[in-house]
Amino acid sequence: MAVMESYTSLEVASVYLNERRGKMRNYGVVDVFCGVGGASLGFKLAGFRVLGAVDIDPVACKTYACNLALEPLCGDLRQLSYREILEHFDLSREDVTVLVGCPPCQTFSSLRRTRPWRGDLPKDELLVTFLRLICEGLPGVVVFENVHGIATSDGGRYLKYYLEEMRNLGYSTVLSDVNAADHGVPQFRKRVVAFSVLGVEANELVIPEATHAAPAKAQESGKLPWTTVREAISDLPPLEPGEEHPSVPKIYFQ
């Protein structure tokens, strides 16, 4: 996931933990299907401690390590247990407050034709793998993010399956179909975000309201207009490929 994709997920988790437990503490996060570290970076910038990450792609893991200064466990999550992940990073269950994951979404993406549903389980075993890890670890908070297609493929059965399994495990979930642009990110990207907390009532969970809107609707809705890419990075100096600038941080957003 790119950094911009994960903004809404980290915002949801940040708001809930701040409201429920007061001042932000250093809550521990483990990021599975971590990719290059977008979600992890977002949580880190929001004040969380990223304690572990897992991905199968060695190139993504190398990039993640550069972005987060944390070496991910490079492996197939289908073959790893929650206990093995904790042991790899020398963690206990109590260290981990948040498990965040975005199982690869090719089978739900609008860019790829989705095959018909077969059997009682989703065809994408990575969604089942994510649920297995949750079942094994039962972290207090789970943040799940995926493409909009997971809510529409085969009548939404993939998402319904996930939500039902989370209920069976004792989680309450608030679900939102969000657009990153509506939260100040200079990118039009729709995502389904499910924010689940163990052992609380669903009415205790709140998804942050959008702060931005399309320019034509912003004024009448009392929101800010969408942030453009020009507004976000137009003050950056021009650079040649591979060139760096001593006064520009590697992580930048004005």
**The two structure tokens encoding residue 218:** 């912003």
Catalytic one of 34, 61, 102, 105:
105
Helix/strand/coil (H, E, C) string of the chain? Answer: CCCHHHHHHHHHHHHHHHHHHCCCCCCEEEEECCCCCHHHHHHHHCCCEEEEEEECCHHHHHHHHHHHCCCCEECCHHHCCHHHHHHHCCCCHHHCCEEEECCCCCCCCCCCCCCCCCCCCCCCHHHHHHHHHHHHHCCCEEEEEEEHHHHCHHHHHHHHHHHHHHHHCCEEEEEEEEEHHHHCCCCCCEEEEEEEEECCCHHHCCCCCCCEECHHHHHHHCCEECCCHHHHHCCCCCCCCCCCCCCCCCCCCC
**The two structure tokens encoding residue 108:** 């739900």
The verdict on whether 74 is a catalytic residue reads no
> Which residues are marked as active site?
105
